[in-house]
Copies of this chain bind each other. A is one copy, B any other.
Amino acid sequence: MNSELSPVAERRDATLKEVAAEAGVSRATVSLVLRQSPLVAAATRERVESAILTVGYVYNRGAARLRTGTSGTIGLIVPEITNPFYAELTAGIDEVLDVEGRLTYLATSNDRPERQERFIRRIREQGVDGIILSAAEGSSPWLLRQLREWRVPVVQILRSIAGIDADFVSPDFSRGTWAAIDHLVAAGHRHIALMPSAKNTSAARERIDTFLSALRHHGLGPGMVTPGASSRSEAADRIGETLISASPPSAVLCHNDLLALGVIAELRRRGMTPGRDLSVIGFDDIPEAASSVPALTTVATLPVEVGIQAARLLLRRIAMPDGAPERILIAPRLILRET
């Protein structure tokens, strides 16, 4: 290298002012061109547009936000992005926002409320136009009230914080649970167990309640709920304990596919055949469900669709902050495979 101290060029992006100078018009005119205003004459517009290219202009959205109050961004908070369900959901959201020209801030809360609140504070500082929230386990209802007071549009997904009538998009877990139980009962099962999530969320509680009602409706006793699990291996342990109990079930409905796959693995380890010795049904229909051996029977919850609907609802809410809250439930589909 030649110059030892080569001073950083410190080239800042070109601004409106430079474009205006290049095109020989005022800043206000350039601004009008940028916003596609019909006010400006065709010839002027062309001159400005080529000036924009020659000076390499970059729109400064932060500066614009100062006046317009909108940033073109939204925040997405999920418990964990490594869960395939949330990954697909994120893809659905991204699809909608991309065509709308908006950007997404992503954060994973790891189900820790304080991390979630930290993130919310930060995106508020950035001036997000709205938030899609799958609340961390243990989030306080106070949080949602706070957000409402701040007038930040929020759409909740999958999990809803109790006691507040807010926008909400989710698979219809209740309907999915009914479908699974009806199917098992029709197949002759009389002793059915539920393996719930170890997490105490609205989505988990809803499934337990529905499970119990469905069994009662079919006249099948109080119903057996195993201890909760939150990973494959925990699910394997739980099903192991359950199988040696006094009256083991002939079918088990699991909170999600990961747990169901854990159950299957344990059955095979014990030389049992999933689908014959114990029927297993999961929730979600993650890619692995179709390709596992044996293939998993499951309730598909269509995460991409949930994401798309959530994004669309948020956009509507941003446009109409005082409209009535909506509740959108995506109908799940029972997918019969081998277990």
Residues of A participating in the B interface, judged by any CB pair closer than 8 Å: 6, 8-9, 11-13, 58-63, 65-66, 69, 71-73, 76, 80-82, 84, 87-88, 90-91, 94, 98, 101, 103-108, 115, 118-119, 122-127, 150-151, 232, 261-262, 265, 268, 287-288, 291-293, 321-322
Contacts and interface: CB of A to CB of B under 8 A. Distances in A.
Contacts of A98: 107, 115, 118-119
Given A101-B122, A291-B265, A88 B82 contact: yes
B261 A291 contact: yes
A71 B62 contact: yes
B104 A105 contact: yes
A5 to B, nearest CB: 11
A90 B103 contact: no
Contact of A108 (B61, B69, B94, B268): B94
Nearest to A124: B58
12 contacts: A9-B151, A58-B124, A60-B66, A60-B127, A62-B62, A81-B91, A84-B87, A91-B108, A94-B108, A232-B287, A292-B292, A292-B293
A27 to B, nearest CB: 15
Given A125-B61, A291-B232, A94 B66 contact: no
Given A88-B82, A94-B107, A69 B293 contact: no
A66 B63 contact: yes
B71 A81 contact: no
Given A12-B69, A265-B291, A87 B81 contact: yes
A151 B88 CA distance: 33
A218 to B, nearest CB: 33
A127 B126 CA distance: 11
Contacts of A63: 62, 66
B106 A90 contact: yes
Contact of A103 (B59, B122, B287, B293): B122
